[in-house]
Amino acid sequence: MEHLPLIVQSDLTLLLEVDNSKFEEARQSLVGFTELVKSPEHIHTYRLTPLSIWNAVAAGIAPDEMIQRLTTYSQYPVPETVSFYIRDQGRRFGPLQIRKSPDGDGFWLTGDDAQLLRQLSNHKAIVPFLGPVLSPGFKILPEHRGLIKQALAKIGWPANDLAGYAQGIPLDIALSDTTRHGAPFHLRDYQRHAITAFSGSGNGVIVLPCGAGKTMVGLGAMADVGRDTLILTTSVAALHQWRDEILDKTTMNPDAIGEYSARVKDLRPVTLTTYQLLSHKKGSGYPHFDTLNQHDWGLIIYDEVHLLPAPVFRLTASLQSRRRLGLTATLIREDGRADDVFSLIGPKRFDMPWKDLEQQGWIATAECKEIRVSLSDTWREHYAMAEDAERARIAAENPGKIGTVRELLDHHAHDHVLIIGQYLSQLKALHQDIGAPLLTGETPTAERERLYQMFREGRIPVLIVSKVANFAIDLPDANVAIQISGTFGSRQEEAQRLGRILRPKSDGGQATFYSIVSEDTKEQDFAQKRQLFLCEQGYHYEIAHADAKGAPMTSNRVIPFRAREVPS
């Protein structure tokens, strides 16, 4: 009889055996409340963290259910220390609440645990935000509502904000039954569940893969709240896509939708702006934020919330009286500030595994392939002689990758291909070699949108893009992505780039995601870390090696992840 696939260790790490018939079942059971640390060939390692448990509790997974899931798949009894840790961390989200002050002026940090409240009254990180005693608890000034939530999360006692929100100006909006072109439109069941999960709290984050309709969740939340809405996006191109979706799928009048960008400053009941503009600093202040904050918004939507710039966290601390909805494909933040998303935007309210959506046909089936390319003798000498800090870029810009790109384009001659990279010199060299249009941060907005539209219409079969295409670009027919370089070991970026090709295809075909990596270099190590995200979502990687001409050699090994261990 086959043994169970999981070993739960007292140091809060979980070892999951890949070559076990219950591997996939156990993996899906774990992802809701654990974090994947490393995923070598045979054993995947997960860990329990305070934030993973708090988010699970906020999303409706009780501590006892987490323990039961571990027990179901564990070869050995779950250590008592682990069960205690889960229950202890699980109980920390909820005992402290922020409510409207009983005297009607400001807010109140309260809870049933008098000893905990006394403990907080002596904590140096919390004291600056506490006002007079309001038994049981303390008065909080409105401007400290966000700051104290940040501070409490960092010391391990996240507050549940139940103080409610400013109503905002009523907005006449409803979802349409048909699009502008007459096609029927309705929300999918999981999108409705996500909207309901958000509406019950008025704050929080919805986690869905690119292509699963996060924008539709935003539109549904706008219709549900029915109040003036500010939408924060990653770029002007994303802003325009939001505007088009609002006009296509809601009853909104175009005159009620405003763009607040570098080009135009149009404040309307629904206003779209960018993180970059919002966080623009002049002197000691943020003039655009100050202008937008004067309006009585009833809802703020943070698109791609995992990319929230640090200055916007500071500004968001003052927006706690507004309902806040974060939309993202992943809660991973490379800067370690996921706890700020939790405390200032809200906890995870809903997520759905990527593979579940794939199986239901809501996102495209995807194959993930890594192609390892050798360095030439000259380039290897260059790599060996370089300082350690320079080696990652040298490996990323390996000229041998261009031959592999050519071979892949020949193989996918009838597909819609995005070639995505990090370094402009590399992208320009590729542009000169293969002749495909190049789109970078230097490309004017109008030209970007023209190229995107030509790609959508099939007039451009191949588009070379820099990291500007990581975010919120709707290219539904793109079915092949070739990643030639990336931001070190960014799992967040890997999620975004795969997401570019996950929208369902009109012909029902699958998507293919290639990563071209220089073999036996730092880039290969970074690639292994990036793939953690894909592995966590249940994708499998095929590893191949390019031959001397750059052509990928066939590999019959399809494995969850083939690599050395990634340092934790």
Q: How many helices (H) and strands (E) does the chain have?
A: 21, 23
In this structure, the answer to whether residues 55 and 100 fall within a common structural domain is no
Q: Which of 176-180, 375-379, 557-561 is the least confident region?
A: 557-561
CA distances from 513 to 181, 374, 460 (A): 32, 20, 19
**Residue-wise DSSP of 298-350:** SEEEEETGGG--HHHHHHHTT-TTSEEEEEES----TTS-HHHIIIII--EEE
List Cβ neighbours of 257 (8 Å cut-off, separation of 6 or more): 243, 246, 247, 268, 269, 270, 271, 272
Which residue range(s) make up the domain with 469? 361-559
- Please, are residues 491 and 428 in contact by the beta-carbon 8 Å criterion? no
Q: Compute the C-alpha angle 405/411/413, nearest 5°.
A: 95
pLDDT of 305 reads: 87
Considering the domain architecture, whether residues 517 and 463 belong to the same structural domain is answered as: yes
85 and 121, same domain (yes or no) = no
Q: 0.85 cut: is pTM over it?
A: no
Same domain, 245 and 338: yes
- pLDDT bin (cut points 50, 70, 90) of residue 469 is low
Task: Determine, yes or no, domain membership for 181.
Answer: no
Q: Which of 74, 92, 110 is the last residue of a domain?
A: 92
Angstrom distance (rounded) from CA 116 to CA 96: 9
Assess whether 452 and 521 both reside in one domain.
yes
- Name the domain count of the chain: 4
Q: Is position 163 within any domain? A: no
293 and 216 both lie in a single domain = yes
Residue 567 lies in a domain: no
Q: What is the pLDDT of residue 558?
A: 32
Q: Does some domain include residue 177?
A: no
- Rounded CA-CA distance 560/19 in Å is 10
CA neighbor of 227 nearest in space, from 300, 173, 170, 270: 170
What angle do the packed helices 63-73 and 80-92 form, to 10 degrees?
150
Is residue 346 domain-shared with residue 244, that is, in the same domain?
Answer: yes
Instruction: Spell out the long-range contacts of 444-451 with Cβ–Cβ below 8 A and sequence spacing 24 or more.
Output: 445/236, 445/237, 445/263, 448/237, 449/237, 449/240
Kindly state whether residue 53 falls inside one of the protein's structural domains.
yes
Residue 484 in tokens: 């030639």
CA angle 349, 145, 167 (to 5 degrees): 70
The number of angstroms, rounded, from the C-alpha of 438 to the middle of its chain's C-alpha atoms is 26
pLDDT digits (tens, 9 = 90+) for 96-132: 999 998 877 889 999 989 999 999 989 999 999 999 9
Domain presence at residue 173: no
**176-185, 214-223, 465-474 — which is least confidently predicted?**
465-474
Report in angstroms the alpha-carbon separations of 555 from 40, 535, 552: 18, 19, 9
3-class DSSP string for 498-513: HHCCCCCCCCCCCEEE
Q: Is the model's pLDDT at 248 over the cut of 90?
A: yes
Q: How far apart are the first and last CA of the chain?
A: 33
Residue 562 pLDDT class (50, 70, 90 cuts): very low
DSSP-derived 3-state class of residue 242: helix
| Contact by Cβ (8 Å): 335, 222 | no
User: What's the pLDDT at 222?
Assistant: 98
Q: Specify whether 336 is located in the same domain as 451.
A: no
279 and 391 belong to one structural domain: no
281-314 pLDDT tens trace: 888 888 998 899 999 999 999 998 887 887 888 7
3-state helix, strand, coil in the chain (%, to 5): 40, 20, 40
- 88 and 101 assigned to the same domain: no
* pLDDT of 501: 76
Instruction: Tell me the CATH number at 446.
Output: 3.40.50.300
Establish if 83 belongs to a structural domain.
Answer: yes
Q: Are 482 and 408 in contact (CB under 8 A)?
A: yes
Q: Give the model's confidence band at 406: pLDDT under 50 very low, under 70 low, under 90 confident, else very high.
A: very high
- Report residue 504 as tokens: 């369902």
255-264, 272-281, 520-529: the lowest-pLDDT one: 520-529
Neighbours of 282 (CB within 10 A): 9
pLDDT band at 563 (very low <50, low <70, confident <90, very high): very low
Q: Which SS3 state, helix, strand or coil, does residue 107 take?
A: strand
In-domain check, residue 170: no
Decide which of 302, 330, 352 is a domain's last residue: 352
Pairing of strands 366-373, 257-259: unpaired
Q: How far apart are CA 43 and CA 40, in angstroms?
A: 6
Which residue, of 352, 385, 405, is where some domain finishes? 352
pLDDT value at 16 more than 70: yes
Q: pLDDT, tens digit, for every residue of 190-241?
A: 999 999 999 988 999 999 887 789 999 999 999 999 999 999 998 888 899 9
- Rounded average pLDDT over 245-251: 96
pLDDT on residue 312: 84
Q: Do 261 and 407 reside in the same domain of the chain?
A: no
Please name the residues in contact with 18: beta carbons below 8 A apart, sequence gap of 6 or more.
41, 42, 43, 44, 559, 560
Each residue of 336-384: pLDDT tens digit? 778 888 888 999 999 887 778 888 888 888 888 889 999 999 999 998 9
On whether both 519 and 456 belong to a single domain, the answer is yes
Q: Are 219 and 246 in contact (CB under 8 A)?
A: yes
